[in-house]
Amino acid sequence: MKEYDIIVIGTGGGTKLVTPPSKLGLKVAAFEKESPGGTCLNRGCIPSKMLIYPTEIIRHSEESSKFPVHFDTKPRAEFTSIVKRVSETVDADSNSIPVAYDKNPNIDYYPYYARFVSDNIIEANGEEFTAKHIFITVGTRPFIPDIQGLDGTPYWTSREALRPDALPKSLAVIGAGYIALELGSAYHGYGTTVEGFTRGEILSLVDSEIREEFKKHPPYPINDHFQIQKIGFENNTFVLTGKDKNGNQYSKSFEKLLIATGIRPNTDDLGLEHTKIQLNERGFIKVDEYLETNSSNVFAFGDVIGRYFFRHTANFEGEHLFQTLFVDRKKTKIDYPPVPGAVFTHPQIASVGATEEELIEKKIPYWKGVNRYSSSAMGMARMSEVGFVKVLIDKKTETILGAHIIGDEASDMIHQLVLAMNLKANLDQMLRMIYIHPALPEITRNAFRKVKEERIKEKGY
């Protein structure tokens, strides 16, 4: 049996526990069954944003006539060249990871699937390994719904949609969460005829006012509360049949079909039945406030624990474990600061903290300030027709409980509010700072001004 100080299963967010502790002289074994770098680098965040960004350039040119600025020809994207660049860039980055590990005498990289044979022993490629600390960061994979006729067809998941052979003429997208909307929006931007279908709400977990604004200005047509009855595939064409929310029968053909209906954890073949590690009802690994499983010195973090599904939260968790276990050498409870998220669609969406619905449910007294992009100097300059900033302020402490943005550069705009929440800045402090005029953050300032108006009505100051 090979013994190490640290074993890391999964090299996505798990990289935070590979190189940093090796620099402290600890011996680390890293196991990866697929491409090094995990979902974010190979099949998620990075390639999707590389695919999405060129469509922003296209959309700016398409909307330029309102200024009026005119182009002699319609913008044309060399789609296959863009996909080639994305794939080559991602592959080069991924391939560089084991090369760097091989140069480090304290890291052994094993390109194999690892399974537990007992609480602190794993097996990979016919060998057994153990370590003082084991970290599980195996992530998730696409969830495939049980739809009649779907099995056996060449449908896409996010994996295939990020490495297509060619741009399809038409695409059906089943799902209306982050992944579905981002990829559907990207393909629509390149010129594909895209139509979306979801059995529930579009972006069901975002603030309702953000959702309603998005539904008024979707990047492509989306059928919500749609019942899919069956999927057919014949002559290289998908046929989707179902009923819309009004009960009307629907049937339409598409060249490609993207399934983006959620994710499931990669825990079903880890051999966890040979350990004390427990799973919740959805199959995610149960961890305590130290990110430790029921097996002593076996930790899990990232998507596989089902708390947050962002690479930035996985990084935060990994950095916490490295600092507390190997630098401070003291097991410490993890304390999450406000966690932001963004949807890179057109329009963009970004949020941090509580939604208004959550505050109402918890009966937390709050003030609300909403200001549209169009009600700002930069919004006037851009002729913004979509978007607003919404802030929710605690009536007792006057600090920010939640903030939600839909519109241009929302994923950048939200960071001012993330910082403010981390510093527990109050309403008056947010209004006392000087904002550049004219710039988009003035929309945020104006939202705070709306809150102050509400405070004056209620308290007189």
Domain ranges of the chain: 2-140+264-327, 158-261, 340-459
For the segment 247-267, the average pLDDT, to the nearest whole number, is: 97
The alpha carbon torsion through 444, 445, 451, 454 (nearest 10 deg) reads: -130
| pLDDT for residue 352 is more than 90 | yes
The CATH number of 2-140+264-327, from 3.30.1460.30, 3.50.50.60, 3.40.50.720, 3.30.2290.10, is 3.50.50.60
2-140+264-327 and 158-261 agree in CATH topology:
yes
pLDDT reported for residue 187: 98
| pLDDT for residue 428 is more than 90 | yes
In 250-310, alpha helices (H)? none
| pLDDT for residue 112 is more than 90 | yes
For the segment 17-38, the average pLDDT, to the nearest whole number, is: 97
170: which strand partners?
A: 193
| pLDDT, tens digit (0-9, with 9 covering 90-100), for 273-332 | 999 999 999 999 999 999 999 999 999 999 999 999 999 999 999 999 999 999 999 999
Q: ω into residue 221 within 30 of 0, thus cis?
A: no
Structure tokens at 436: 């550049």
Question: Do the Cβ atoms of 144 and 259 come closer than 8 Å?
Answer: yes
pLDDT reported for residue 243: 97
The pairing of strands 400-406 and 349-353 is antiparallel
Question: Do the Cβ atoms of 13 and 315 come closer than 8 Å?
Answer: yes
Structure tokens at 112: 């194999």
> How many Å apart are CA 198 and CA 178, to the nearest integer?
13
Q: How many Cβ atoms are within 10 Å of 219's Cβ, its own excluded?
A: 21
Question: Do the Cβ atoms of 167 and 79 come closer than 8 Å?
Answer: yes
Q: How many Cβ atoms are within 10 Å of 407's Cβ, its own excluded?
A: 25
pLDDT reported for residue 74: 86
pLDDT above 70: percentage of residues in the chain: 100
Structure tokens at 336: 């999450």
Dihedral pair phi/psi, residue 163, rounded to 5°: -140, 55
Question: Do the Cβ atoms of 176 and 221 come closer than 8 Å?
Answer: no
Looking at the domain covering 340-459, what would its CATH class be?
Answer: alpha beta
Q: Where are the beta strands (DSSP E) in 137-280?
A: 140-142, 170-174, 193-197, 222-223, 227-234, 237-243, 249-254, 256-259, 263-265
Q: How many Cβ atoms are within 10 Å of 255's Cβ, its own excluded?
A: 16
Per-chain mean pLDDT for the chain? 97
pLDDT reported for residue 73: 87
| pLDDT, tens digit (0-9, with 9 covering 90-100), for 126-171 | 999 999 999 999 999 999 999 999 999 999 999 999 999 999 999 9
For the segment 180-203, the average pLDDT, to the nearest whole number, is: 97
Give me the DSSP letters along 290-355. TSB-SSTTEEE-GGGGTS---HHHHHHHHHHHIIIIIIS-S---------EEEE-SSS-EEEEE--
Question: Do the Cβ atoms of 18 and 110 come closer than 8 Å?
Answer: no
Question: Do the Cβ atoms of 266 and 140 come closer than 8 Å?
Answer: yes
Q: Domain 158-261, what fold?
A: FAD/NAD(P)-binding domain (3.50.50)
User: How far apart, in Å, are the Cα atoms of 174 and each of 126, 141, 295, 382, 413?
Assistant: 40, 16, 38, 33, 30
pLDDT reported for residue 72: 84
Q: How confident is the model at residue 117 (pLDDT cuts 50, 70, 90)?
A: very high
> How many Å apart are CA 376 and CA 203, to the nearest integer?
27
For 316, residues 6+ apart whose C-beta sits below 8 A from its C-beta are 336
> How many Å apart are CA 131 and CA 114, to the nearest integer?
13
For the segment 357-377, the average pLDDT, to the nearest whole number, is: 98
- Give the residue carrying structure tokens 């920010």: 400
Structure tokens at 3: 């013994």
First vs last Cα of the chain: how many Å apart? Answer: 71
Structure tokens at 143: 């969830």
| pLDDT, tens digit (0-9, with 9 covering 90-100), for 64-104 | 999 999 988 888 999 999 999 999 999 999 999 999 999 99
Structure tokens at 212: 């309603």
Closest residue by Cα to residue 291 from 312, 309, 318: 318
Structure tokens at 242: 């179902």
Contacts 24+ apart (CB under 8 A), 430-435: 430/400
User: How far apart, in Å, are the Cα atoms of 448 and each of 144, 377, 428, 435, 445?
Assistant: 43, 16, 9, 12, 5
pTM over 0.75: yes
